[in-house]
Chain A
């Protein structure tokens, strides 16, 4: 007994070492868990408030570029609105069956919120973005995030006043996309490295497209509406097994200059995901 006690005292630094490393490992493992507490992250109260303070100051330096982007988007949207109005009047006049379903799709569906970015990492394989809106503002996990250039990522977890986004630049990110003009869809995923590029993997070989084509969201996941811009096709390669194409995509969004974003949520999303989960359970 005495020998054991002496042993413990003599090697107390080893035990402290194991204890501290143990705590670290628990934190590492727990953060991968979806339901993990947000305290030890930038959405937690401590780190979050410091970041908010610095970002408020930082935002002033980007106001000009931000304004230019919004102005350009405003012009584009106004033009699109007038076009859609024209089309709507035409359709109303034509009295087809299409009329009903068109009006329905405009009414149903997506809610939009705006948020500012208070922290943004680029230097890891699993990057995260922190936003200044949380569950109190109506943000919930699995909402889509985009800005005037294109899509940015998906909300991962929320605290009361802040939320963490998994951007396209995260190896866990996977977003359903398609090349504009072709019907076949596939997922966009990032493998680290250059923050300007990402990859479309497992694109069927019968898909018709070429370099320079635009990549857009497919709209199948119901996180994002369809046809939001993602990037352009930069390079086309064969996948390792030769059954598919792997496409290098140049992203529209410049992640190093993000300041504010839009968050989009589908009111029907929960219903859809519940249905999808049920069918997975049945098939198991």
Chain B
């Protein structure tokens, strides 16, 4: 029960940060940081896939409601939640059997950043493809995906190092 409330708190904080702050920051007109992905990245290793997808869908939908993009963030976040366990499995050290929250306390920096980078790239590709559905501008897609992925990864790294420092 305690962990549920804790998760709800993180959910609210990340949703608010995304819609009130990060959605309004766009570097060079292309790159936006999707900071709310931290919620999915920080799901415990043994969280069930259904659980992850339902949380991700709800969070994506709220971001959509505030950004006038109904369904787009929800679809991309659900996709990421569906794939996350596969991605995380690539970076779990040999012999590790217990449950953990992905982060630099457990994983090496390189492993954590790679895990985050692959996840965020996947999310951004799906997001921008859905957004540009009607447009045939491959350059916009490429710049948008690359810019947003790098910016999100930058924030994820900064937040991780702060988290580590405070412990």
Contact = CB atoms under 8 A, between A and B. Distances in A.
B26 interface: yes
Nearest to B67: A121
A27 B70 contact: yes
A235 interface: no
B57 A20 contact: yes
A25 to B, nearest CB: 6
A13 B79 CA distance: 12
A124 interface: yes
A26 B78 contact: no
B7 to A, nearest CB: 18
B144 to A, nearest CB: 9
Interface string B38-76: 000000000011100110010011001111111110110
A123 B26 contact: yes
B30 A16 contact: no
Nearest to B22: A123
Contacts of A26: 71
B39 to A, nearest CB: 16
A91 to B, nearest CB: 48
Given A44-B65, A192-B135, A31 B71 contact: yes
Given A27-B71, A31-B71, A193-B29, A125 B64 contact: no
Contacts of B91: none
Contacts of B30: 123, 193
A23 B30 CA distance: 27
A20 B55 CA distance: 11
A125 B135 contact: yes
A194 B143 CA distance: 13
Q: How large is the interface on B (under 10, 10 to 19, 20 to 34, 35 or more residues)?
A: 35 or more
Contact of A123 (B32, B64, B71): B32
A126 B53 contact: no
A217 to B, nearest CB: 25
Contacts of B23: 121, 123
A119 interface: yes
A243 interface: no
Nearest to B74: A24
A72 interface: no
B122 to A, nearest CB: 14
Interface string B66-103: 11111110110011001000000000000000000000
A51 B70 contact: no
A185 interface: no
Nearest to A130: B68
B71 A24 contact: yes
B135 A28 contact: no
A191 interface: yes
Given A25-B71, A54-B20, A16 B135 contact: no
Given A16-B50, A124-B67, 16 more contacts: A13-B50, A17-B49, A17-B53, A23-B74, A28-B130, A30-B70, A41-B65, A41-B68, A41-B70, A42-B65, A121-B68, A122-B29, A125-B135, A125-B140, A130-B68, A192-B135
Interface of B: 19-20, 23-24, 26, 29-30, 32, 48-50, 53-54, 57, 60-61, 64-72, 74-75, 78-79, 82, 130-135, 137, 140
